[in-house]
Chain A
Amino acid sequence: MTHASESSTPATKTPESFWEIVGRWSMSVDHKKLGMMYVGAGLIFFLVGGLEAAFMRLQLAQANLKIIDPETFNQLFTMHGTTMVFLVGMPILLGFGNYLLPLMVGARDMAFPRLNAFGFWLFIFGGLLLYFSYIGSQGLYGAPSAPDVGWFAYAPLTDRTFSRGNSTDYWILGILVSGFGSMTTAINFIGTILCMRCPGMTLMRMPIMAWMMLVVAALVLVAIPVLTGAQIMLLLDRSFGAHFFDPETTGSAVLWQHLFWFFGHPEVYILILPAFGFVSEILPTFSRKVLFGYPLMVAATVSIGFISLGVWAHHMFVVGLGPVLNSFFGAMTFLISVPTGIKIFNWIATMWGGRLRFATPMLFATGFIAMFVIGGLTGIMLATVPLDWQLSDSYFVVGHFHYVLFGGTVFGIFGALFYWFPKATGKMLSERLGKWTFWLLFIGFTMTFMPMHVSGVLGMPRRIYTYEADRGWEIWNLITTLGVPVQMAGVAIFLWNVVKSLRSGENAGNNPWDAWTLEWSTTSPPPEWNFDRIPTVTSARPLWDSAHPEDPDAHYE
């Protein structure tokens, strides 16, 4: 399948059997294979998580429906949230980092290739462990068969008293295991970015995505261990009679929330910063312009990293922290909108005066900006503490974070898929089908998530398996549900596009988009060793420099 295997396999040899292919991929420590497997596995989980959401929307299409019983519904939203965050967002984004970072910084592989493979298999194992709960956690109690405590698993609902059986333990262990996988990946990113850059590539000459990934890796290393620690404490509570989160004794239910959100808020930035990176790579290429304000972009990214560690309690404005803490965390949350705003302005300035070509990656990148702006602004509304007292835990919040994580992260991911697919496979995706995917996703997304803001303002809380008739919520929920099949059609067309392209796609060549970063200087797909000769760079856009030797970027640094 890859160029590397073709060139290393003698032509006379018979084609590989299925098991040989499986063996070659599963034993691989090549960052490109691992990256593709991360993205592939993430996409499979994306379909699973999407189906879970579709079932929920079916139940909520009208008031008082009885399609899905409450326990199943609660499992669905728990698994949907957990899957999308830990088994879709993180692996796909880290998978892109895995695939691209060595190519972008001109290295032959990640700093620790074996650790990289280890991390990937931990993620797979953690994901399977979580889903095994559907079969494995039935237990002797007639207990729920999958976790039903919500993705943030608030204590003391997770206590044995309220969560019988083993489903919550599966949740703890599945996430704990895949969390270790994320940590190893973060170590690898930091090692690769700091130590493996090719000659001439100073930190300020890295592709901007590498900067974003560096900050993401740092956040993973700070945030995930806190979650892991909290989960171990919860495990001790549940299985060994500890009382960390047990308010009946001296434990504290609020402690879990602090620990969880100390992880949880940086996690949001872990999920959005790589998408910022994709967009920051795609926009310049399709605007034919250099990224506007690179140093400010770096500064904004790093400051988002720092500030994101100090905003966690904005998930807890309704806990009753008192006026002082509420004011502090409200102010910090407002503050983080400044560097985020800077990024948006810089992207628009990058497009400004460019010559835009709306290939599919560019459609998704501009769609990303438009949708993310909405998600960011509703975020400002939610950061307004008193307004949050009304809107928190309502459908407004669901609408808000889907604008960030779907309109933001998922659009970014689709942009990246269309942008780097030719590099990874050597084949172009169909532009026509790509545009169908974009517009169906865009329309379906808006239909689904825009009305949620309204139902939230009308007082509809989240995580309810059914709702009262005659509160003015029905029509908005119906529109929301009707958006789902539109999105599903978009995703189905994308999958067909991939299959079609792999079978009979147009050949991509090294640099189909005429981009400027190092990954486009090698073949598509790149050989196992990435570059025949380690490149030397003199600016952030080495391919611009080689195309315009008389006018290199270095002059403007």
Chain B
Amino acid sequence: MGRGYSLTERTGAEARPRKNHLHRYTSSHAPNVIPTSGARESSSTVSSVRRLRCASQLQRYTLLGVLCFGAITSIGVSTAAAEVPQSQASRSLEVCDPSVIPISGSGVTSILESNSAPAREVRSLGYLVVAICAGIFVVVQTFLVLAIVRGVRAARVANASAGSGAEPVQVFGSLPIEVAWTVIPFIIVFVLTMVTIRTIRDIDLTKPPEGALTVTTIGHQWWWEFRYTAADGSTVITANEMHIPAGRPIWVELKSADVIHSFWVPRLAGKLDVIPGKTNALWIEADVPGIYLGQCAEYCGTQHAHMLLRVYAEEPAQFDAWLAAQAAPAVEDATVTVGRDTFTAFSCFNCHAIAGTSEGLFGPNLTHLASRDTIGSGSIPLTRSNLVQWILDPNTLKPGCNMPSLKLEPAQVESIVDYLMTLK
């Protein structure tokens, strides 16, 4: 019964008290201990005293551990707290220099390079949690290393001395120590839960923030469709490159046309799944103009890896101009009617919509294709030669994608590309 409720320990019966401070301790305190009956007398005397010694030592170390944890964590937390004003300072700097948002290089999709209020809040919480975890890590690993060093040394001493085969003090447990390392984690966990819930309340919005622009985002295997409401109330549809005004909250409504995808632009916000049959919504708000990269983060089939996302945050006036241009009908260029006819003569129009020409829904809307920077869901730069290659056989550029090769003659492909390249 005593096990776990009071400190109970003992030596192996053949163990002799070692010639060290422990032994001295034993002799000076032995009279205080009431011996138990009969044959166990001598060993109980020794073990009872050792229990005192060992208990106080373990308790001291536990206390030390708590203090270390407190010190490391508070350093970490204060660093995390100092991080908030810092990031705001650097933000105001960034506003002066829009070119600061890189589109290549390390950190381009880092969760630590936040440029949006929700992402920044997650980062601050992240630093706090990492600080607490670092505190726990240092304390636990230090104790582990200490236990190893001491244990190896003790084994060496025991082997060297005559009493080899002797067993060390057997400690079955200690109520105060066990209570300590049950209660303290509870407190840490409580703190973590509270700060987590506060952040969830701040950014897991259930309705759009005031003045938000709604962009309906539809995940397809393996590309993105974006729908906006233009000034005149008509719907503007584009693909793979999402344009948003900087400095204004965006309410990204997420829907899926087939399987589950996930919308993730790390610098703007955490990810949110795009689920068929369920409409999710995510709040993003780019501080500064620039191109923010991301990609689908939920496995969605063969070309999951090439379901990239590009978010173009622009000055509001620039964005309005872009939206107006996208709302305009497709460019009608008389020099490329051959290409246009080829486009409608083959099954291109079954999948691709071009306002005024075709109404397909299965592939990206091509009404203003030439205004975009990329094809293949952000994976290939939009150049004439890439587009030719893509139409000849998309599988060479994006193996397994759902667009088939129509086995067109090169001349036919050239004419289609001539036509598509006019669709500014």
Contact = CB atoms under 8 A, between A and B. Distances in A.
A342 B182 contact: yes
A16 interface: no
B192 A334 contact: yes
Interface string A134-160: 000000000000001010001011000
A107 to B, nearest CB: 25
B111 interface: yes
Nearest to A556: B8
A459 B2 CA distance: 53
Interface in B293-336: 293-306, 308
A548 B206 CA distance: 67
Interface in B143-165: 143-144, 147-148, 150-152, 154-155, 158
B360 interface: no
Given A293-B173, A326-B200, 18 more contacts: A74-B299, A74-B302, A157-B259, A157-B260, A247-B277, A247-B278, A248-B276, A289-B170, A293-B172, A342-B181, A352-B61, A352-B143, A355-B167, A373-B137, A387-B122, A389-B270, A555-B40, A556-B9
Residue from A157, A293, A373, A459 having most chain B Cβ neighbours under 10 A? A459
A292 interface: yes
Contacts of A464: 295, 304-305
Contacts of B185: 337-338, 341-342
Interface residues of A, number: 96
Contacts of A6: none
Nearest to A355: B155
B126 A384 contact: yes
Given A320-B273, A353-B54, A331 B193 contact: yes
Interface in A449-468: 457-468
A470 B167 CA distance: 59
Contacts of A341: 181, 185
A551 B155 contact: no
B363 to A, nearest CB: 17
A551 B182 contact: no
Nearest to A319: B273
B170 A290 contact: yes
A154 B189 CA distance: 31
Chain B binding site: helix, strand, loop or mixed by DSSP?
Answer: mixed
B151 A287 contact: yes
Contacts of A295: 3-4, 173
11 contacts: A154-B259, A154-B298, A156-B260, A290-B172, A348-B147, A355-B155, A373-B141, A381-B129, A389-B271, A471-B293, A551-B43
Contacts of B277: 247-248, 251-253
Nearest to B259: A157
B133 interface: yes
Contacts of A499: none
Nearest to A335: B189
Interface in A523-557: 548, 550-551, 555-557
A214 to B, nearest CB: 19
B209 interface: no
B39 interface: yes
A338 B186 contact: yes
A327 B193 CA distance: 8
Contact of A380 (B10, B109, B122, B192): B192
A480 to B, nearest CB: 16
Interface stretch (A87-95, A165-173, A261-269, A391-399): A391-399
B58 A349 contact: yes
A556 B105 contact: no
Contact of A288 (B61, B168, B304): B168
Contacts of A294: 3-4, 172-173
Contacts of A247: 275-278
Interface string B193-221: 10011011101101000000000000001
Contacts of B399: 69-71
A448 to B, nearest CB: 20
Contacts of B181: 341-342, 345
Given A377-B136, A471-B106, A461 B297 contact: yes
A356 B152 contact: yes
B200 A323 contact: yes
